[in-house]
A = this chain, B = another copy of it.
Amino acid sequence: MTSDPVRLGVAGLGRAFMLMVPTFDADPRVKLVAAAAPREESRAAFVRDYGGAAYETVEELCADPSVEAIYIATPHQMHVDHVLAAAQAGKHILVEKPLAISMEDAERMVRAADEAGVHLIVGPSHSFDPPVDLAARLIESGEFGQLRMIQALNYTDFLYRPRRPEELRTEEGGGVLFSQAIHQIDVVRRLAGGMAKNIYAMTGAWDPKRPTEGAFTALMSFETGCIANLTYSGYAHFDSDIWMNDVGELGQPKKAGAYGGARRALMNLNPDDEARLKTTRTFGSGTTIEASHNEHFGPVIALCDRADLKLTPDGIEVFGDTERHFIEAPFGPAPRRTVLDAVVDAVRNDTAPDQTGAWGLASLEVCHAILTSAAAGQPVDLQHQCRTKHEEPTE
């Protein structure tokens, strides 16, 4: 046991990593000691900012003996190879959601981590957001009676942000299912204890220029009897952040006058220009997000017998039988601190968070079930679910 900083290697220096930079920079419990990235510019920026080694390949990163754990922030379709490499090298792993695209890959990854005796954590994901954590603990306490229904919705311009071509191909993990639904599923499963029973869903692929699922709506049931309604549109013009106190997904106050920005920026761009525009959102060339609230993933309401809990970026509005009050979920010192709590707890204390590989596999199963249900017009039973740590079975 040591209180030395966890020595972290970073695989992939794109947008996902960039969004974690403020978190890493503010937290003395972790130290970025190495990275891997194919782009020379990104590697140079890493060495400049953090020192340490910067490799061209993830395999070289995995071989670096100074690295204790690897944060895998490469594109979705590469997660499987990189998680397997890290596990084989005996490194603990924090992998971006979604764990994988295919269930087979996800199962191999979970097995590999088990066999290697390393922790596999899937995150960041909005199920780590402090208001979600607070709501989950309030529900688990039983103070408000049983959780009956969850409504989650999110309307964004996701599909019109700059994309690489594969981000618009469903079979390669593109569209809103694997990248966005996974957040909502994680949040809802976290609140409801994890064990989803079945799901029925409808999806929309409505823009022939961006031919992937851009929206879905789904009903889930849980073994506890809780039902949940999840809706996401990445085609949206209406921005549901107005129902989250005008705070954006990343905790940043929304700017007045920014309306329609994503679609405007995209007009008259060809795919090459668009892919180039995407690289301006990566490490070394991107702009920083100024978060002053917790992150969130759109309005979520959890209905219990004796109160409804409405999540906000700053905490929980508790609407009780005869009174209402607010419970704060403090922000900071940096965004996503709870993700590093999980990494440090795993590496230093051998304690796993809710968001393990098995958890990520269970949420991935729900993504696939949404596609399957929508195609078949039938509900789909779920077979790979797992519980949150605190939730006891009801039977």
Question: Which residues of A approach B to under 8 Å, CB–CB?
Answer: 146, 148-149, 151, 153, 155, 198, 200-202, 204, 206-207, 215, 217-219, 221, 227, 229, 231, 233, 235-239, 243, 259-260, 263-264, 301, 303, 305, 307-308, 310, 317, 319-324, 377-379
One complex includes copies of this chain to the number of 2
In the assembly, what is the distance between CA of A237 and CA of B296, in Å? Answer: 22
In the assembly, what is the distance between CA of A323 and CA of B259, in Å? Answer: 7
The answer to whether A301 and B202 touch across the interface, beta carbons within 8 angstroms, is: no
A227 and B217 in contact, given A301-B238, A379-B378 (Cβ under 8 angstroms): yes
The answer to whether A260 and B305 touch across the interface, beta carbons within 8 angstroms, is: no
A149 and B259 in contact, given A237-B320, A243-B243 (Cβ under 8 angstroms): no
Min Cβ gap A206→B in Å is: 5
* Contact residues of A: prevailing secondary structure: strand
The answer to whether A219 and B206 touch across the interface, beta carbons within 8 angstroms, is: no
Min Cβ gap A51→B in Å is: 45
The answer to whether A148 and B259 touch across the interface, beta carbons within 8 angstroms, is: no
Apart from the given pairs A149-B217, A237-B307, 10 other A-B contacts in the complex at a CB distance below 8 Å: A202-B221, A217-B227, A229-B229, A236-B319, A237-B320, A238-B310, A239-B319, A260-B321, A263-B322, A264-B322
Q: Which residues of B contact A259 (CB under 8 A)?
A: 322-324
The answer to whether A303 and B233 touch across the interface, beta carbons within 8 angstroms, is: yes
In the assembly, what is the distance between CA of A227 and CA of B374, in Å? Answer: 11
Min Cβ gap A210→B in Å is: 12
The answer to whether B238 and A155 touch across the interface, beta carbons within 8 angstroms, is: no
The answer to whether B151 and A231 touch across the interface, beta carbons within 8 angstroms, is: yes
Min Cβ gap A228→B in Å is: 8
Q: Which residues of B contact A201 (CB under 8 A)?
A: 219
The answer to whether B377 and A149 touch across the interface, beta carbons within 8 angstroms, is: no
A301 and B204 in contact, given A219-B219, A237-B308, A260-B321 (Cβ under 8 angstroms): no
A321 and B263 in contact, given A229-B217, A243-B243, A301-B238 (Cβ under 8 angstroms): yes
